Structure formats: structure tokens, C-alpha cells
Amino acid sequence: MKRLITVITSLTAGIYSLPLLASETLMPQPQQWQPIQEIAVQGDIPELRGMPLQPEFPAPLAQVNQGYLETLAPATWWADLLTYSFFGMFFVLALFVLINGKAKLTQGFSGHKVNRWSGMDILFHWIGAIACLLLIVTGLAMIAGRFWLEPNMGAERWIGFIGSSVAIHNLMAFPFILGWLVMVVKWANKQLPEACDLGWFKALGGYLNFGSFKGKHPDAGFANAGEKLWFWCFALFGALMIGSGVVLMFPSLVATKDGANLALILHLVSAFVLGAFTVVHIYMATVISEGGMECMLTGKCDENWAKQHHNLWFQKLPKSK
Ligand code: HEM
């Protein structure tokens, strides 16, 4: 039993030791992996753990949850899924903009500004957002890099690259947690469901420029239904991402292989949802919704943008004139 716990601890600690994996191509198996090799950790997920690829699993250990192992086993599948969901979404939305065009302000810019976000909101949004983007990029390098990049890199360059990716990934977890916590706690009351949300979805947000959808501007309060969906996905999957990430960083917290494997599954699923949705969010803010980006740069928005996209919120604002 003691031996098993030692093995589990050293194995799970290896999740964040990807540079070691790179060294396989350069030098013999690193010392700390030797015991794992000797007892051939049965039914484990070598590809994701940074261990040498094994084409077949040995007979499974009874105490290891087979469902978790089978879920994690196709490492190339996970790598492809996460890579395609992130980059594929850029492609899909580029196509959407090409066919549909942007959501222009029908009245143009009025030049009058309305307060929307405070300096604190902007600060913590960007702390969380920049950390999140770096986590996505380095996370993709960690899961998919060995299939997509390593074969085209020299061993030494790969070691440096993956080592930096792991270090950045671990470091960025902290600003991400801070940004997530502040955004979720501070903004939750602005993102509660409202009666108009269903109508917003029915009109597809008013972003389609053809057919009966053209020119529709569905009702919305401070946040529209699409933003609320993003916010609550961010809150829920961000929590799963953080909880599972903490377990992966400090595996002794769970001390069982099942716990670590479950954490890894939750981490990958959250990465899939947040990665794809982040791309949608960035597209909406920067490309699709004309006038949207200035909200998170200056904290203010144009009056016509507020009227078109958040009419119910705008109506309730105290009028300056
Ligand atoms: C280049 C990347 C990003 C840009 C340009 C961007 C831009 C924006 C803008 C303009 C808003 C305000 C929308 C409004 O006032 O209605 C916003 C809100 C928000 N952002 Fe970002 N963002 C980026 C990345 C991220 C990331 C990575 C996260 C997650 C960590 C995030 C989380 C949020 C949340 C939760 C909101 C509030 C809900 C909403 O209004 O959509 N953002 N962002």
C-alpha cells in the first residue's frame, strides 16, 4: 500500500514535469521515472503523464477506475480535440463574419459616452483574461505539442520550449484564479436571468444580417443572454478548471490515482469548453459587435451602442441632461 502511494505521488507529480518527457529523446530515462517503469504502472495514461508511449496497456489493476483510464487513454484524441476546438472556432467565426458581416451600429456612433465598467472591473478583467489566454496557449503546448511541434523541433529546442510552457502555465494559474474570483463575485448580480433572455436567444442576439433576423435588436439589460451564458460558463467551468488544476499541482491533496485521473478529466473538459467559448467572446468583443471593445478599454460605451445592445439597461440609466 505504502509502495502504491509512493508510486501514485511520484506519478501524479509528473503531470507538471513535462520537460522530463522531452529529455527522453536526448538522454536515457530520467532517474525519477525508473521505479514507475519497473513496476509498469498498470493501465496508466502514459501519453498524458509524460511517460514513454506504450502501444498496449498491461492488465489493469483492480483498484484503478477503468472508466477514467479509458477516458484518458486516447491522448492524441484529446490533443486534437482541444487544438481543433480552439483554432477551429477562430476559423468558424471568420467564416461567419465573411458570410454575415459585422453587427454595425444602425444609428452610427453618437459621440456621447455612458459609464459601463469601473477601473477595478477593467483591471481584474485583463488580469484574468491575459492569464487565461496564456494558460490556453501553454496548455495546448503541453497536451498537443508533443504530437504537433516536437517532431519538427530539435530535441534541445523542444526541451526549452516545453519547460517554459509548463513554467508559464503554473505561474499564470494564480492571476487567473484572482481574476476569476473577482469577476465572478463582483459581476454575478449583473448576470442574473431576466424575462427578456429567451427573446434574445430567439432573435439570435440580433447579430444575423439576413432574412427575418435582419435589423432585429432584442431587449437586453446590462448583460444580454449571450453574455450571461458566457459568464456562467466561465464561472462554472472556471471553478472546475481551478479545482482540478490545484489537485494536479498538489496531487498529495487527493493521494489516489483515481482522484488525480478524475482531476485530469475535469481539467481537459473545462479547457475544451472555456477554450472554445473564449474565442467566441474575443470575436464578439473585437470583430463582430461594433463599438463593444471600448467598454473594456475605457469603461465607457457609446450611447447608441447601449441603446442597440442593452436597451433596458440604458433606459434605467440616470439621464445627464
Ligand atoms: C483579447 C481577449 C478579450 C477581449 C478583447 C475581451 C473583451 C471584453 C469586453 C469588451 C467585455 C465587455 C462586454 C460588455 O460590456 O458588454 C468583456 C466582458 C467579459 N470578459 Fe472579456 N475579453 C477578452 C478575454 C476574456 C477572457 C480570456 C475572459 C475569461 C477569463 C474574459 C471574461 C469576461 C467576462 C466574464 C466578461 C463579462 C461578461 C460579458 O460582458 O461578456 N474575457 N470582455
Name the packing angle between helices 257-283 and 225-249 (round to 10°).
150
Distance of CA 203 to the CA centre of its chain: 27
Tell me which of 178, 237, 270, 296 to substitute to probe ligand 1's pocket, judged by most ligand atoms within 8 Å of the beta carbon.
296
pTM of the model: 0.82
pLDDT by residue (tens digit) across 264-292? 999 999 999 999 999 999 999 999 999 99
Ligand 1 center from residue 91 Cα (angstroms): 20
CB of 228 sitting under 6 A from ligand 1: no
Cell numbers standing for residue 38: 519497473
**Which residues are within 8 A (CB) of 150 and not within 5 positions of it... i.e. 6 or more apart?**
22, 25, 158, 162
Confidence check: pLDDT of 85 > 90: yes
CB of 184 sitting under 6 A from ligand 1: no
Confidence check: pLDDT of 319 > 90: no
User: Are 254 and 217 contacting, i.e. CB atoms less than 8 angstroms apart?
Assistant: no
Please report, for the chain, how many H helices and E strands are present, in that order: 14, 2
Ligand 1 center from residue 265 Cα (angstroms): 26
Which residue's CA is the closest to the ligand 1 atom numbered 5?
A: 282
CB of 149 sitting under 6 A from ligand 1: no
pLDDT by residue (tens digit) across 15-55? 444 344 444 444 444 443 333 333 444 445 444 444 444 44
Ligand 1 center from residue 129 Cα (angstroms): 7
pLDDT by residue (tens digit) across 112-129? 999 999 999 999 999 999
Taking residues 102-106, what's their average pLDDT? Answer: 92
DSSP three-state, residue 113? strand
Q: How many CB atoms lie within 10 A of CB 176?
A: 23
pLDDT by residue (tens digit) across 163-179? 999 999 999 999 999 99
CB of 242 sitting under 6 A from ligand 1: no
Ligand 1 center from residue 111 Cα (angstroms): 23
User: Are 193 and 63 contacting, i.e. CB atoms less than 8 angstroms apart?
Assistant: no
Instruction: Check residue 320 and give its pLDDT.
Output: 62
Ligand 1 center from residue 35 Cα (angstroms): 46
User: Are 108 and 307 contacting, i.e. CB atoms less than 8 angstroms apart?
Assistant: no
**Cα distance between residue 293 and residue 27, in whole Å:** 49
CA 209 to each of CA 65, 109, 227, 236: distance values in angstroms, whole numbers, following the listed order? 50, 19, 20, 32
Which residue's CA is the closest to the ligand 1 atom numbered 17?
A: 296
CB of 286 sitting under 6 A from ligand 1: yes
